[in-house]
């Protein structure tokens, strides 16, 4: 019965797409609206648009997805507690649940202007002392990440505080755009001054959709697009980062995080449990999380590890939350037959956006997970690191990435940010207040693409933005 209804809905969808096309007299291929092929979510484009499972996930796996969702939302508590399977939070932490930052499986945002009323949850600050262009070490006292919460009896490390300054950019049609430049400080430091060499790198939580598909793209395919010395002379020199898998000690392609410092969703989730919530997993067996030796009260606080394994997050829980992270579906596109959107697609190509926001990748035909195997996906990323210029540089090398480098973020689903998260704050620290501001911050290898957009007339610029918002 359930299957019959699903088939009916799918047929209904196909017919309505076909009708919409013929009505508009457009020639758009209905497949254009499905960025992940038959794995695309056909649910309504509403506030829950990022929270559905991959459409190709077999019915019998739905329960794992639901239980994984429960762990993603689970509020962890201080140890020791009567619920041994939920304790071990902290001692230092940023949030009590994954979902507190990945709001509605979507995007975080910087703290609002009315600080300290709006806290910085959904944003975190990485810390480090640069040692070379691609190397850094943690702050000796504050470690590799600033935690702005702590369990009772332990001091918080401090809180991120941002002030903004406005900069005007003249556009080719005679109008001006205003960019807000952040100035970050850490206030209320709980453990004395940071090392003079420590750099801070604030990041908002990225959306959770389509990540399993990006994990299933073969590394060779991504590496083949890299052109580190710009041998073809087009000004774009994407670099494929190499990072270490902490469980196998293998060197692998870095894929996740704004600087692509994590090779797999499993390691990304394990690092989040450790750094963001102070919880140990098989990959990182430190119940004290990011507490350094200099933070002795923190180091001495009780651990929430189970008696059998010593781990605060069991292997079963970790696997389920990773399963969940792997199967959040990408929503179908909207307005694909709008003539402005079609023109915007051509302008996107003309401006050279697709050299980094690459329109298509293909997942491995033999990927471990059949629901994700053999898909042509339209994520609009090359998964490579690019020098984005001094305006976006954070001064902090991480993984294999330099201070000026960022991984091209996927653009699929970006047009639903407002619907799902109630804002349009883009880029790694959420500084851009609109798609246009995000584009205007592009520098370095993306300077000429940015300049191309600055030179567009009003109608073309609007068409380009309408296209991005249809993704
Ligand atoms: Ca802990
Ligand atoms: Ca810390
Ligand atoms: Ca090149």
**136-170: pLDDT as tens digits:** 999 999 999 999 999 999 999 999 999 999 999 99
pLDDT of residue 119: 66
Measured CA to CA, the distance from residue 410 to residue 207 in angstroms comes to 10
Distance 322 CA to ligand 2 centre (A): 24
Q: What share of the chain is helix, strand, coil (3-state, %, to 5)?
A: 30, 15, 50
Cα–Cα distance measured from residue 329 to residue 412, given in angstroms and rounded to the nearest whole number: 11
Q: Which ligand is nearest to the CA of 198?
A: 2
pLDDT band for position 4 (cuts 50, 70, 90): very low
**Cα(359) to centroid of ligand 3, in Å?**
17
Distance CA 258, CA 246 (A): 19
Cα of 31 vs its chain's centroid, Å: 25
Task: Compute, in angstroms, the gap from residue 400 CA to the centroid of ligand 3.
Answer: 19
Neighbours of ion ligand 3 (CB under 5 A): 227, 230, 232, 234, 236
What pLDDT is attached to residue 30? Answer: 65
Please check the confidence at residue 7 and state whether its pLDDT lies above 50. Answer: no
First to last CA, the chain: 33
Measured in angstroms, how far is the CA atom of residue 274 from the centroid of ligand 3? 37
The CA distance from 92 to 157, in Å, is 8
Average pLDDT over residues 105-109: 96
Helix then strand count (H, E) for the chain reads 12, 14
> Closest-lying ligand to the alpha carbon of 228?
3
The pLDDT of 364-384, averaged and rounded, is: 97
Task: Give the model's confidence band at 307: pLDDT under 50 very low, under 70 low, under 90 confident, else very high.
Answer: confident
Q: Minimum-distance ligand to the CA of 311?
A: 1
Arithmetic mean of pLDDT, 361-380: 97
pTM, rounded to two decimals: 0.94
Residue 229 Cα to ligand 3 middle (Å): 7
What pLDDT does 113 receive? 62
Residue 171 CA to chain centroid, in angstroms? 30
Q: Is the pLDDT of residue 398 over 50?
A: yes
Determine the pLDDT at residue 83.
81
Q: How remote is the CA of residue 150 from the centroid of ligand 2, in Å?
A: 10
When pLDDT is averaged across residues 82-92 and rounded to a whole number, the result is 91
CA 68–ligand 2 middle distance (angstroms): 27
Query: In terms of DSSP H, where are the helices of 99-208?
Result: none
State residue 118's pLDDT score.
62
Average pLDDT value for residue range 123-135: 96
- Give the Å distances, CA to CA, from 423 to 109, 396, 430: 8, 27, 10
What's the pLDDT score for residue 18? 40
Alpha-carbon span 174 to 298, nearest angstrom: 57
Read off the pLDDT of each residue in 279-306 and give the average, rounded to a whole number.
Answer: 94
Ligand with smallest separation from the Cα of 156? 2
The pLDDT score that the predictor gives to residue 13 is 45
Q: Where are the domains of the chain?
A: 1-30, 66-212+266-326
* Cβ(282)–Cβ(271) below 8 Å: no
Q: How far is the CA of 164 from the centre of ligand 1 (A)?
A: 35
pLDDT-derived band of residue 28, with 50, 70 and 90 as boundaries? Answer: low
pLDDT of 367 reads 96
- Per the CB < 8 A criterion, the answer to whether 111 and 117 are in contact is no
Percent of the chain with pLDDT over 90: 89
CA–CA gap between residue 83 and residue 155 (Å, rounded): 25
Average pLDDT over residues 390-414: 98
Pairing label, strands 376-377, 251-253 = unpaired
What Cα–Cα distance (Å) separates residue 238 from each residue in 75, 165, 230, 355? 39, 31, 8, 9
Residue 237 alpha carbon to ligand 3 centre in Å: 5
Average pLDDT over residues 372-380: 97
Q: Is the pLDDT of residue 295 over 60?
A: yes
**Among 312, 332, 340, CA closest to 91:** 312
- Asked if residue 100 lies in contact with residue 195, where contact means CB atoms within 8 angstroms, the answer is no
Task: Please give the C-alpha separations between residue 267 and each of 3, 117, 245, 283, 400, in angstroms, as whole numbers.
Answer: 35, 33, 7, 7, 16
Average pLDDT over residues 50-76: 98
Task: Please say if the pLDDT value at position 1 is more than 80.
Answer: no
Per-residue model confidence (pLDDT) at position 117: 55
Distance in Å, CA 387 to ligand 3 centroid? 12
Of 105, 413, 48, 154, nearest to 97 by C-alpha is 105
Strands 242-244, 251-253: pairing kind: antiparallel
What is the Å distance from ligand 3's center to 342 Cα? 27
pLDDT at 84: 82
| Higher per-residue pLDDT: 137 or 9 | 137
> Above 90 in pLDDT, residue 121?
no
Ligand 1 centre distance from Cα of residue 194 (Å): 23
Report the separation in Å between the CA atom of 261 and the middle of ligand 1, taken as the mean of its atom positions. 23
Q: What is the pLDDT of residues 310-325, one digit of tens each?
A: 999 999 999 999 999 9
């Amino acid at each position: 019965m359930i299957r019959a209804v699903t088939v009916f809905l799918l047929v209904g969808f196909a017919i309505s797409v076909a009708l919409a096309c013929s009505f508009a007299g457009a020639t758009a291929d209905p497949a254009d609206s499905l960025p992940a092929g038959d794995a695309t979510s056909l649910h309504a484009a509403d506030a829950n648009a990022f929270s559905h499972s991959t459409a190709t996930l077999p019915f019998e796996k739905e329960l794992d997805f639901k239980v994984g969702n429960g762990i993603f939302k689970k509020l962890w508590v201080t140890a020791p507690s009567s619920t041994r399977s939920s304790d071990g939070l902290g001692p230092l932490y940023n949030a009590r649940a994954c979902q507190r930052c990945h709001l509605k499986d979507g995007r975080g945002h910087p703290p609002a202007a009315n600080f300290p009323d709006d806290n910085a949850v959904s944003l975190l600050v990485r810390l480090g002392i640069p040692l070379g262009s691609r190397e850094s070490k943690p702050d000796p006292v504050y470690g590799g990440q600033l935690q702005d919460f702590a369990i009772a009896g332990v001091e918080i490390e401090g809180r991120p505080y941002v002030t903004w300054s406005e900069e005007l950019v003249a556009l080719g049609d005679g109008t001006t755009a205003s960019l807000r430049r952040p100035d970050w400080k850490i206030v209320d430091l709980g453990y004395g001054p940071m090392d003079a060499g420590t750099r801070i790198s604030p990041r908002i939580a990225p959306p959770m959709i389509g990540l399993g598909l990006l994990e299933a793209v073969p590394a060779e395919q991504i590496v083949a697009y890299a052109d580190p010395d710009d041998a073809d002379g087009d000004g774009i020199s994407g670099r494929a980062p190499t990072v270490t898998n902490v469980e196998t000690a293998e060197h692998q392609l870095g894929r996740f995080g704004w600087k692509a410092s994590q090779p797999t969703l499993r390691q990304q989730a394990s690092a989040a449990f450790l750094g963001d919530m102070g919880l140990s997993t098989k990959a990182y067996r430190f119940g004290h999380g990011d507490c350094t030796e200099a933070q002795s009260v923190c180091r001495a606080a009780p651990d929430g590890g189970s008696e059998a394994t010593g781990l605060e997050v069991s292997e079963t829980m970790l696997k389920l939350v990773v399963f969940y992270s792997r199967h959040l579906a990408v929503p179908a596109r909207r307005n694909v037959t709008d003539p402005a959107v079609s023109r915007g697609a051509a302008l996107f190509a003309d401006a050279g956006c697709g050299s980094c926001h690459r329109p298509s990748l293909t997942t491995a035909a033999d990927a471990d997970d059949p629901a994700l195997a053999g898909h042509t996906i339209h994520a609009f990323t090359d998964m490579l690191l690019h020098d984005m210029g001094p305006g976006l540089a954070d001064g902090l090398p991480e993984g294999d990435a330099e201070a000026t480098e960022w991984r091209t973020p996927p653009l699929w689903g970006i047009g639903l940010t407002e619907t799902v998260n109630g804002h349009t704050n883009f880029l790694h620290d959420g500084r851009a207040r609109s798609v246009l501001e995000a584009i205007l911050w592009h520098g370095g290898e993306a300077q000429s693409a940015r300049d191309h957009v600055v030179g567009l007339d009003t109608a073309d610029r609007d068409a380009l933005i309408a296209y991005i918002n249809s993704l």
